Amino acid sequence: MNKTPSKELENRMERFKAVMDSSNPNWEMAVIFSKINQFYFTGTMQDGMLIIPRDGEAVFWVRKSYERALDESLFPEIRHMNSYRDATQDITKLPETVYLEAEAVPLALYQRFSKHFSFKNFKPVDIPIGKVRSVKSEYELNLMRKSGKIHQHVLEDLVPGMLREGMSEADLGAELFKVLIDEGHHGLTRFGMFDTEIVLGHVGFGESSIYPSYFDGASGNLGLSPAAPVFGNRERKLDQGDLVFVDVGCGFDGYNTDKTVTYMFGQSLPQHAIDAHNRCVDIQNEISSQLKPGAIPGEIYTSIMDGLEPDFKENFMGFGKRRVKFLGHGIGLLIDELPVLAEKFTEPLEAGIVFAVEPKKGIPGIGMVGIENTFIVTSRGGECITGDNPGLIPVY
């Protein structure tokens, strides 16, 4: 069992408190409920809550499973509780304001918690946690590099041999998921986006990859049904001349990478589609060269978008009116983390931030061309950890 080292957990807590001291000088207590943030700070994810006082030792109160938490975690203070009432025993004075995860805590849980913790106000702690999590330690980066190697090997080396005429999108998705697991993928594709359910990612043949989707990304998917719109379709079969679009997540010990690879099945695509794809690859490489400490995400986004020809902007980062206003996103324990390569992100980059960079363009009658890879911010520019294949891999 790979346990998060004690020093790693200690450093994360110290950094969180430092960020809170800077951004919220009067804070006194934060309480963490979401399992992803629990895992980040304690090395385990359980039914419980992590109470972090400004002064004093943080305590992870666990309802279920206390035994598993002790097995998995090197966090120094883990205690069992039957209800939130148990966790009040060590608190002599509750602050008027408690910092909570506004993006993750549902109203019913908030009401149950506030029944026993009688604070007057709450403030969101999501952005401070996001800032802390955005800068990865070498321990975290090594896990992401392992994920990236799995990702590269499966999508660049194995998927071409999996494609066969007459297979459905669902066939490819199911087989791809098994291969990823066999190669070491941890089996989950986690998003912070509210109420988002994705098992694998988007696997599409032809125009299926630009079909409308609630998912906040450039591509789409026919899905299995209206009740499961984000997996490959059973009826759409692979045919000669199809573009195959594969945008899936991979992860290792909790840490994710994101990658998109395209394939030409049976014959080449029209030249205008190839040209649009190659332009997307050039944009990815241009963005990567700018991923250095001190760079401003919003300025990178604006400089790229301002440099595009009006004709190319049509259906760039989406299709029709369904276009997203970013070129990449932070990634780590979740696929979608801070910061984002978008207009309003003005905090300078730091070494160790990781981005999934994904310039893509919808082509009528063809589907979604483009590319996505995962990059670490370094003084030399983005370090790609998911491979350098430019995509449109021919499978003839």
Together in a domain, 189 and 261:
yes
> What's the pLDDT score for residue 90?
80
Residue 308 lies in a domain: yes
Total Cβ atoms within 10 A of residue 284: 27
- Please count the helices (runs of H) and the strands (runs of E) in the chain: 11, 19
> What's the pLDDT score for residue 199?
86
> What's the pLDDT score for residue 109?
95
Give me 101's structure tokens: 């995860």
| Number of domain units in the chain | 2
Q: CATH number of the domain that 380 lies in?
A: 3.90.230.10
Q: Are strands 59-64 and 78-80 parallel, antiparallel or unpaired?
A: parallel
- Assess contact for 352 and 136: CB atoms under 8 A: yes
Q: Is the peptide bond before 65 cis (omega within 30 degrees of 0)?
A: yes
Residue 221 lies in a domain: yes
Could you tell me which residues come within 8 angstroms of residue 105 by beta carbon, excluding any fewer than 6 positions away? Answer: 33, 34, 113
From 133, 161, 179, give the residue that closes a domain.
133
Rounded Cα–Cα distance for residues 82 and 283 (Å) = 54
> What's the pLDDT score for residue 254?
97
Residue 352 lies in a domain: yes
Burial annotation 323-361 (CB, 10 A radius, 16+ → b, else e)? ebebbbbbbbbbbbbbbbbbeebeeebeebbbbbbbbbb
Residue 1 lies in a domain: no
Together in a domain, 51 and 170:
no
Together in a domain, 381 and 266:
yes
Residue 233 lies in a domain: yes
Rounded Cα–Cα distance for residues 61 and 34 (Å) = 13
Together in a domain, 181 and 109:
no
Q: CATH number of the domain that 128 lies in?
A: 3.40.350.10
Residue 294 lies in a domain: yes
Together in a domain, 170 and 44:
no
Together in a domain, 328 and 232:
yes
From 116, 133, 150, give the residue that closes a domain.
133
Rounded Cα–Cα distance for residues 251 and 272 (Å) = 34
Residue 280 lies in a domain: yes
Together in a domain, 318 and 331:
yes
Rounded Cα–Cα distance for residues 251 and 145 (Å) = 10
> What's the pLDDT score for residue 368?
98
- H/E element, 245: strand 243-252
Give which of 353, 379, 355 is closest to 137, Cα–Cα: 353
Together in a domain, 311 and 189:
yes
Residue 200 lies in a domain: yes
Give which of 221, 182, 184 is closest to 202, Cα–Cα: 221
Encode the chain (396 residues) as per-residue pLDDT tens digits. 889 999 999 999 999 999 999 999 999 999 999 999 999 999 999 999 999 999 999 999 999 999 999 999 999 999 999 999 999 988 888 899 999 999 999 999 999 999 999 899 999 999 999 999 999 999 999 999 999 999 999 999 999 999 999 999 999 999 999 999 999 999 999 999 888 888 899 999 999 999 998 888 999 988 899 988 888 899 999 999 999 999 999 999 999 999 999 999 999 999 999 999 999 999 999 999 999 999 999 999 999 999 999 999 999 999 999 999 999 999 999 999 999 999 999 999 999 999 999 999 999 999 999 999 999 999 999 999 999 999 999 999
From 88, 106, 133, give the residue that closes a domain.
133
Together in a domain, 114 and 250:
no
Residue 195's SS3 state is coil
Together in a domain, 289 and 384:
yes
Together in a domain, 73 and 167:
no
Range of the structural domain that residue 343 is part of: 135-395
Together in a domain, 192 and 231:
yes
